[in-house]
């Protein structure tokens, strides 16, 4: 058994999942510690990548195309680190949020399995392994969706499962065709392959599968119900992390594939624009807080694809960075927001937006956290979300793609509109009948989401090092 | 004296770090909260005094770190920044005293003072921003920090005002973001440099430069209440009196006017802006706003609303002085930045006292209030007369320089404009004074014959009124706003 940090990021959560499943009584201890240990492995890996650029490890000593290789570069370590950090804080939040014994029993094995799958995606170097990993993720994610046990959650989970299976099947079919075409499945083989119509068709199949899994408009239909009806920590993981797996594979493939033509890039940006507008409208109409937050995820996914398409085909060499920053920003801020929304729902007793201002109970800190997360999601300075939006608009403006700038601005205004529906309710008191106490709802459980939200804001000040870190090992362009 | 290169940062942090502490304090820890508020405000005044001394000695402060490749977060303390920082530091101290008195027993004080402090931090950041990117960051922070203050009362009317405020200012902020991006793409820098950074672009791509000017000034014009972007200000006056005072005198409105200054002087450079032919339209727009605001003020019966329309008019003096592209007018504009702040804050605090002490909120109910609250009304009257431009009060000094600048720039219509505006000022202010001093309260005499307002409410407007007197009467003394202004203009016009 190898003990390099890269392998550890896979096996620590995997064994943690098994242990938590076998020992349900100890799961609440095993869970957070496994995530912590994974985080430590990621930190070690980050040091290696900082020193040496991209690092490759062959599992069992077999090099591709025969064996399985893992590769870590700046982008994958950034994703690993974001996942570990968000995951750790969500875990801490879950310790408080999951009161039900049955929920606790299943949450930890599922979440650790999910973590294994996520890390596998970030480190994978061949498309068949990526397929296996997204199936692992889907399995765990569906389990997390239905964890709350309500009818709505079960229904949403079922829909999610169908979408997920369909997406995975499309991806697998694509993988099969790629193998038939070029006889290899690793990224190096993809790069070396002669572009051909058949190969493009195979890749297109994979692409559609991924778009379905990442819920890009109009393939987003399964997402809002699934994310809104899960328990708060599960929603945070699903919205903050899970959709990013398919998004990440998309970003990776986009380089290894034969260069996409301008039409395709424009199409992807247009779908992103559709997501921003349609998701915005739905968020404006949402009646429940968690539903609003879930629709905001649809919007943000769209924004990430606009960032990808911001400067057309020629700009792809730079555009992926804007998309990556937005992915990181959304992961952190959305996890914070879902945890905060869960806290508000717990304290107030419901999450009907219209009646939030009737409650005499005001979970001040959770509301503050929600507001901070909203600042990053709207893209107001100095948050990381602002940096992502700045990069998006800068690239689009420099390349003369005005329409992407316009869509982003419209999306921003809409996000202000739907978030202020909630924020204004926090500050309104004239509809309260009972006397309002002071500083209600301070709890240790607020610490995790607050930390996440504060990081989303302050990481924007450290955008320059983050940007230079994700470029380490030239994720896009050089040999994998 | 020891040199502290981080001094600007410390000044920013005095309020930025106080905010989370104030948020976290429990509601009943009133004296501790007041202590922190006043302590930090005084500390800031002290630090700013030190900073201005250092800057006048020629010390250059320049703090920067890269947020994005090539794009820096940059604080600087040039004389123009000092002017605005000093104004905000002094008026923050006075307004803090006033707010403590005003909100003594009100709800949500922790929240109020937290956002209040954050608002001042944003203003200081705006003042000391060394490039448009940093300016944008604090400009947005200012919007976010003032919104909870505007809707502080939490009534349906306040929420409506807040929503309108948010729509205007965040839309303006978004356009400013677009303009900042445009500047970054066109010029490759967003730094504020005396003389501007766009002279080459203006030559090679004049149309793009003109568009950029319109975008930037339009975006800033939302907060500077240039017609037609002014509508939020009279609505936002539902905010508590200290907030209105701060909004109108230092924070929001001034941030817009100050931004226009930075953009015209240090992004485009006055010569480039003039060469592009953009200054004259801006001056005309400012002139229209001056007249429009004054005319609307005449018909308002609500005291605060009348004052708000007066602000729309008065703040555009600053824009006018900038746009006239004459060094003398610039002196008037910069001096007015200070003078208008002092005059308007006095009037809003006085109006707040009338509402608190007598329950008088309408002009039509002001009969005889002078006898009931002589101190407050004296301060109010002084400020009103200064606004009208009575020599030797502060407002006269600004108008004098603006008029001279108008002549200097060959725009004779400015004289007529200023005379007309003064006339209109008199039309809407003098009846208020007449009612207050020369009419009897009549049968509906005020319930408490001698209303009780604490010294914390009474002293601040009187203090600022004295400052109005001093700023006008001793305009030529060293370290007066006017003198400092000449120092700045020499830099901006690179003389």
Asked, for residue A129, whether it belongs to a domain, the answer is no
B260-282 residue pLDDT tens: 999 999 999 999 999 999 999 99
Cα torsion B194, B200, B202, B205 to 10°: value is: -150
Pairing of strands A55-58, B71-76: unpaired
Strand-pairing partners, residue B131, are B191
Question: Total structural domains in chain A?
Answer: 1
Across all residues in chain B, what is the average pLDDT? 89
Strand-pairing partners, residue A56, are A71
Spell A375-413 as b/e; 16+ CB within 10 A means b. Answer: bbbbbbbbbbbbbbbbbbbbbbbbbebeebbebbbebbe
Give pLDDT, residue A234.
94
- Torsions phi, psi for A63 (to 5 deg): -85, 155
Cα first-last separation, chain B: 30
C-beta atoms of A429 and B154 within 8 A = yes
Give pLDDT, residue A480.
38
Asked, for residue A74, whether it belongs to a domain, the answer is no
Q: How near does any CA of chain B get to the CA of A245, in Å?
A: 26
C-beta atoms of A381 and B174 within 8 A = no
Give pLDDT, residue A478.
44
Across all residues in chain A, what is the average pLDDT? 89
A287-341 residue pLDDT tens: 999 999 999 999 999 999 999 999 888 888 888 899 999 999 999 999 999 999 9
Asked, for residue A435, whether it belongs to a domain, the answer is yes
Judge whether A35 and A448 are in contact, CB under 8 Å. no
Average pLDDT over residues A451-466: 93
Give pLDDT, residue B251.
85
Asked, for residue A22, whether it belongs to a domain, the answer is no
Q: Which chain B residues are closer than 8 Å to A428 by Cβ?
A: 151, 154, 159
List alpha helices for A183-242, DSSP H: 187-192, 197-214, 223-229, 232-237
Q: Which chain B residues are closer than 8 Å to A460 by Cβ?
A: 67
Give pLDDT, residue B3.
66
pLDDT surpassing 60 at residue B448: no
Asked, for residue A3, whether it belongs to a domain, the answer is no
- Mutation target among B72, B109, B170, B190 for the A interface, most CBs of A within 10 A: B170
Q: How near does any CA of chain A get to the CA of B66, in Å?
A: 6
Tokens 């959709």 sit on residue: A243
Average pLDDT over residues B51-57: 86
pLDDT surpassing 50 at residue B382: yes
C-beta atoms of B181 and A390 within 8 A = yes
A129-151 residue pLDDT tens: 999 999 999 999 999 999 988 89
pLDDT surpassing 70 at residue B443: no
C-beta atoms of B151 and A375 within 8 A = no
Q: Around A180, how many Cα atoms within 13 Å sit in the side-chain half-sphere?
A: 13
Q: Which DSSP state fits B195?
A: T
Average pLDDT over residues B6-24: 88
pLDDT surpassing 90 at residue B446: no
Give pLDDT, residue A479.
42
* Closest chain A residue to B74, measured at CA: A461
Q: Which DSSP state fits B263?
A: I
C-beta atoms of B148 and A427 within 8 A = yes
Of A249, A86, A223, A115, residue with least CA distance to A161: A223
d(CA A474, CA B151): 49
pLDDT surpassing 60 at residue B109: yes
Give pLDDT, residue A136.
94
d(CA A450, CA A438): 19
Average pLDDT over residues A170-193: 88
Nearest by CB to B144, from A380, A394, A468: name it.
A380
Nearest by CB to A427, from B23, B151, B185: name it.
B151
Average pLDDT over residues B56-65: 85
Spell B20-43 as b/e; 16+ CB within 10 A means b. Answer: ebbbebeeeebeebbebbeebbeb
C-beta atoms of A464 and B68 within 8 A = yes
Partner B, chain A 394-423, Cβ-Cβ below 8 Å = 394, 397-398, 405, 409, 412-413, 416, 420
Q: Tokens at residue A90, please?
A: 């969500």
B72 contact A CB<8A: no
C-beta atoms of A390 and B177 within 8 A = yes
Q: Which chain B residues are closer than 8 Å to A413 by Cβ?
A: 170-171, 174
B201 contact A CB<8A: no
Nearest by CB to A424, from B140, B141, B159: name it.
B159
Give pLDDT, residue B43.
93
Compare A433 and B386 and report the one with higher pLDDT.
Answer: B386
B26 contact A CB<8A: yes
pLDDT surpassing 90 at residue B209: yes
Q: How many CB pairs under 8 A join A and B?
A: 76
Q: Which chain B residues are closer than 8 Å to A409 by Cβ?
A: 174, 178
Give the distance, in angstroms, between the CA of residue B471 and the centroid of all CA atoms in the same chain: 16
- Mutation target among B174, B176, B189 for the A interface, most CBs of A within 10 A: B174
Compare A260 and B37 and report the one with higher pLDDT.
Answer: B37
C-beta atoms of A413 and B178 within 8 A = no
* Closest chain A residue to B156, measured at CA: A430
Nearest by CB to B140, from A380, A424, A427: name it.
A380
Please give the C-alpha separations between residue A170 and each of A205, A267, A431, B346, in angstroms, as whole numbers. 6, 19, 52, 70
pLDDT bin (cut points 50, 70, 90) of residue B127 is very high
Cα first-last separation, chain A: 24
Q: How near does any CA of chain B get to the CA of A101, in Å?
A: 34
Which residue segment(s) compose the domain that A345 sits in? 260-480
Nearest by CB to A464, from B67, B170, B184: name it.
B67
Nearest by CB to A394, from B148, B173, B181: name it.
B181
B416 contact A CB<8A: no
A366-393 residue pLDDT tens: 999 999 999 999 999 889 999 999 999 9
Tabulate helix, strand, coil % of chain A (nearest 5): 80, 5, 20
pLDDT bin (cut points 50, 70, 90) of residue A346 is confident
Average pLDDT over residues A428-434: 76
Asked, for residue A73, whether it belongs to a domain, the answer is no
**Long-range contact pairs involving B441-444 (C-beta distance under 8 Å, separation at least 24):** B441/B367, B441/B368, B441/B369, B441/B371, B441/B372, B442/B367, B442/B368
B367 contact A CB<8A: no
Asked, for residue A428, whether it belongs to a domain, the answer is yes
pLDDT surpassing 90 at residue B178: yes
Compare B445 and B105 and report the one with higher pLDDT.
Answer: B105
Domain boundaries, chain B: 278-495
A387 contact B CB<8A: yes
Average pLDDT over residues A179-194: 84
Q: Which chain B residues are closer than 8 Å to A390 by Cβ?
A: 68, 177, 181
A182 contact B CB<8A: no
Average pLDDT over residues B427-455: 76
* Closest chain B residue to A382, measured at CA: B137
Give pLDDT, residue A375.
95
Asked, for residue A397, whether it belongs to a domain, the answer is yes
Strand-pairing partners, residue A288, are A352
* Closest chain A residue to B25, measured at CA: A439
* Closest chain A residue to B159, measured at CA: A424
């Amino acid at each position: 058994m190898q003990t390099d940090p890269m392998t550890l990021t896979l096996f620590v959560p995997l064994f943690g999942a098994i242990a938590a499943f076998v020992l349900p009584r100890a799961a609440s201890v095993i869970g957070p510690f496994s995530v912590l240990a994974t985080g430590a492995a990621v930190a070690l890996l980050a040091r290696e990548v900082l020193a040496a650029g991209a690092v490759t490890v062959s599992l069992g000593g077999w090099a591709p195309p025969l064996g399985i290789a893992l590769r870590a570069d700046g982008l994958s370590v950034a994703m690993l680190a974001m996942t570990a950090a968000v995951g750790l804080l969500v875990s801490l939040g879950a310790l408080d949020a999951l009161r039900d014994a049955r929920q606790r029993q299943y949450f930890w094995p599922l979440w650790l399995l999910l973590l294994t799958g996520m890390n596998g995606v970030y480190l994978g170097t061949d498309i068949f392994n990526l397929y296996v990993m997204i199936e692992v993720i889907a399995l765990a994610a569906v389990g997390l969706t239905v964890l709350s046990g309500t009818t709505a959650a079960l229904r949403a989970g079922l829909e999610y499962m169908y979408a997920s299976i369909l997406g995975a099947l499309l991806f697998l079919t694509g993988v099969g065709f790629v193998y038939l075409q070029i006889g290899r499945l690793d990224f190096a083989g993809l790069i070396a392959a002669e572009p051909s119509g058949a190969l493009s068709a195979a890749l297109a199949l994979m692409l559609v599968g991924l778009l379905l899994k990442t819920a890009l408009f109009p393939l987003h239909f399964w997402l809002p119900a699934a994310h809104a009806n899960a328990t708060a920590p599960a929603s945070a993981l699903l919205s903050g992390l899970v959709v990013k797996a398919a998004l990440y594979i998309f970003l990776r493939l986009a380089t290894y594939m034969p260069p996409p033509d301008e039409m395709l890039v424009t199409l992807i940006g247009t779908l992103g624009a559709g997501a921003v507008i349609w998701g915005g409208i739905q968020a404006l109409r949402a009646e429940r807080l968690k539903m609003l937050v879930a629709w905001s995820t649809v919007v943000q996914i769209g924004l990430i694809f606009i960032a990808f398409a911001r400067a057309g085909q020629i700009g792809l060499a730079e555009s992926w960075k804007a998309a990556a920053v937005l992915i990181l920003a959304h992961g952190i801020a959305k996890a914070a927001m879902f945890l905060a929304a869960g806290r508000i729902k717990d304290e107030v007793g419901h999450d009907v937006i219209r009646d939030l201002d009737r409650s005499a109970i005001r979970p001040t800190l959770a509301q503050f956290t929600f507001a901070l997360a909203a600042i990053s999601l709207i893209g107001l300075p100095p948050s990381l979300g602002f940096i992502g939006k700045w990069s998006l608009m800068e690239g689009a403006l420099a390349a003369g793609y005005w329409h992407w700038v316009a869509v982003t601005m419209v999306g921003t205004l809409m996000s202000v509109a739907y978030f202020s529906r909630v924020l204004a309710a926090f500050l309104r008191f004239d509809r309260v009948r009972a006397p309002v106490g002071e500083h209600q709802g301070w709890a240790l459980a607020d610490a995790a989401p607050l930390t996440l939200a504060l990081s989303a804001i302050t990481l924007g000040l450290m955008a320059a090092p983050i940007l230079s870190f994700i470029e380490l090992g030239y994720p896009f362009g050089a040999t994998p | 004296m020891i040199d502290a290169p981080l001094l600007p940062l410390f000044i920013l942090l005095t309020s930025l770090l106080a905010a989370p502490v104030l948020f976290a304090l429990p509601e009943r820890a009133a004296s501790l909260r007041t202590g922190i508020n006043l302590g930090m405000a005084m500390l800031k005044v002290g630090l700013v005094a030190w900073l201005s001394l250092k800057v006048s000695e020629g010390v250059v402060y320049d703090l920067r770190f890269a947020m994005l490749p090539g794009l820096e977060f940059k604080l600087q303390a040039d004389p123009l920044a000092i002017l605005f920082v000093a104004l905000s530091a002094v008026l923050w101290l006075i307004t803090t005293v006033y707010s403590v008195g005003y909100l003594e027993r009100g709800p949500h004080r922790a929240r109020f003072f937290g956002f209040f402090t954050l608002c001042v931090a944003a203003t200081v950041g705006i003042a000391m921003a060394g490039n448009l990117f940093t300016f944008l960051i604090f400009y947005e922070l200012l919007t976010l920090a003032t919104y909870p203050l505007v809707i502080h009362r939490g009534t349906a009317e306040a929420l409506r005002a807040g929503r309108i405020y948010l729509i205007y200012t965040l839309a303006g902020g978004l356009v400013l973001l677009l303009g900042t991006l445009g500047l970054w793409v066109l010029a490759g820098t967003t730094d504020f440099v005396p003389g501007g950074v766009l002279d080459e672009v203006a030559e090679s791509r004049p149309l793009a430069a003109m568009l950029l000017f319109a975008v930037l000034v339009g975006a800033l014009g939302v907060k500077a209440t240039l017609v037609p972007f002014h509508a939020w200000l009279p609505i936002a006056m539902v905010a508590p009196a200290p907030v209105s005072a701060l909004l109108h005198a230092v924070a929001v409105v001034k941030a817009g006017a100050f931004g226009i200054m930075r953009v015209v002087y240090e992004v485009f450079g006055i010569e480039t802006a003039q060469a592009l032919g953009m200054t004259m339209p801006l001056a005309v727009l400012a002139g229209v706003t001056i007249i429009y605001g004054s005319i609307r003020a005449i018909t308002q019966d609500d005291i605060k609303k009348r004052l708000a329309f007066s602000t729309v008019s008065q703040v555009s003096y600053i824009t006018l002085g900038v746009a006239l592209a004459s060094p003398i007018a610039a002196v008037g504009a910069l001096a007015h930045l200070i003078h208008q702040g002092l005059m308007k804050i006095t009037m809003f605090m006085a109006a707040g006292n009338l509402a608190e002490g007598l329950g008088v909120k309408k002009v039509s109910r002001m009969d005889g209030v002078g006898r009931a609250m002589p101190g407050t009304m004296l301060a109010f009257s002084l400020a009103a007369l200064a606004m009208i431009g009575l020599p030797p009060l502060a407002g006269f000094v600004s108008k004098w320089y603006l008029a001279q600048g108008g002549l200097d720039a060959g725009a004779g219509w400015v004289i007529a404009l200023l005379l007309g505006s003064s006339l209109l000022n008199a039309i809407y202010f003098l009846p208020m004074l007449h009612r207050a001093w020369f009419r009897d309260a009549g049968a509906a005499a005020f319930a408490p014959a001698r209303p009780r307002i604490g010294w914390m409410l009474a002293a601040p407007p009187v203090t600022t009124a004295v400052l109005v007197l001093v700023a006008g009467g001793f305009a030529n003394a060293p370290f007066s706003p006017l003198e400092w202004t000449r120092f700045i203009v020499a830099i901006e016009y690179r003389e």
